[in-house]
Amino acid sequence: MCILGQIEGERMKNVTESKENNHDVIIVGAGAAGVGIGIVLKKMGIEHIILEKEDIGSSFRKWPQETRFISPSFTGNFFGMPDLNAISPDTSPAFSLLTEHPTGEEFAEYLVGISEVFDQNIEIGVEVCKVSKIDGLFQLETSRGNYTTQFLIWAAGEYQFPKKDSFVGAELCIQYSKIESFLNLQGDHFLIIGAYESGFDAYTHLVRAGKAVQILDGGDNIDLINSDSSYSLSPFTRDRIKETLSPKNYFKDARVTKVEFLDGKYVVSTQNNKTFTSVSKPIDCTGFEGSLALVKNLFEFDERYPYLNERDESTITEHLFLVGPFVKHRNALFCFIYKYRKRFAIVGETIAKALNIDPETVDEVLEEYKLGNFYLDDLSCCDNECVC
């Protein structure tokens, strides 16, 4: 919960006047996106600060202990094929973590490590509670007083903001993002609502723990094959489930409409008129609302996703940028690190130009990001299907 301007019970003085709290650029969130764009700004010599409400990589630390990256890490950087999970072209989680599919905790360590290497200016324990734009400057009210900035980069992510109302009775379920470890869940039989990456992740770990599991798919994700990994289950997940998934435990076209607690049992009803029951709380894996609610007045939306111009800037608020998994252009959803990292340099380049940063330095950074395959400005490339 956001408590404005309070630290350890003491009311903070309003620090808008304090020079340290006025910045050229403020980045909100020190996850993969915030640290990644921070590195670009640092390399370009743009003054900035990252405000983080908890700790570097805190969302990754909140993943269930057993959960691992679905996208593989492999050190190919120096041959122009950077590690898919790297957030800067000169680093590789495979190299520093020595694993192909890091856990959330491991990946957070990678983020901490590279924040140190790039000497990132991160203020931890600062929660941004309210953002407004007054006379051309963003005013941020935070748990540690007020900040102002010319440019604001929103990188507050999605994981800590789950969907709460995908169906009636969602509050009776356990949200995937609240599970610390699947091994701690009490019970022998579980119903999983939602059969995409997080649903099948829960399925995999519970089956491995010897539990009986039924998974309810609102559509038909097993048969949905798409060349874009944002719209189709990953090979890692397909490999994990193929031995155990069967019509006895997987139900397609079973969109859940209601969950009730009746006579000591959870009763789950679906749109295709089926009911399922379990003694344990059903697990809600229907996804994330995202953090944009806090700045929703500063963006225009097309249902879930904000409209952005070709530089990932809000179409209604100049100098407000979005980085991370909620960036979407036409059909191209930048929800994986290997996708959204390709927009960091575009945002950096735009801000650098506006701040009249030395063009030679900026060009050097752009060259590095282009060579490292970390730069995508032609958005027409992402709409086509592969033929093989």
Ligand X SMILES: Cc1cc2nc3c(=O)[nH]c(=O)nc-3n(C[C@H](O)[C@H](O)[C@H](O)COP(=O)(O)OP(=O)(O)OC[C@H]3O[C@@H](n4cnc5c(N)ncnc54)[C@H](O)[C@@H]3O)c2cc1C
**Least gap, CB of 46 to ligand X (angstroms):** 19
Binding site residues, ligand X, CB under 6 A: 28-34, 51-54, 58-60, 63, 67, 69-71, 127-128, 155-157, 159-160, 198, 201, 291, 294, 324-325, 336-337
**Least gap, CB of 130 to ligand X (angstroms):** 9
Nearer to ligand X, 27 or 267 (CB): 27
Nearer to ligand X, 59 or 269 (CB): 59
Nearer to ligand X, 277 or 373 (CB): 373
Q: Are the CB atoms for 251 and 215 separated by under 8 Å? A: yes
**Least gap, CB of 60 to ligand X (angstroms):** 6
**Least gap, CB of 197 to ligand X (angstroms):** 6
Nearer to ligand X, 32 or 366 (CB): 32
Nearer to ligand X, 2 or 279 (CB): 2
**Least gap, CB of 15 to ligand X (angstroms):** 16
**Least gap, CB of 184 to ligand X (angstroms):** 17
Nearest residue to ligand X by CB is: 31
Nearer to ligand X, 93 or 282 (CB): 93
What is the spatial distance between Cα 189 and Cα 210, in angstroms, rounded to a whole number? 9
Q: Are the CB atoms for 177 and 159 separated by under 8 Å? A: yes
**Least gap, CB of 79 to ligand X (angstroms):** 21
Nearer to ligand X, 236 or 276 (CB): 236
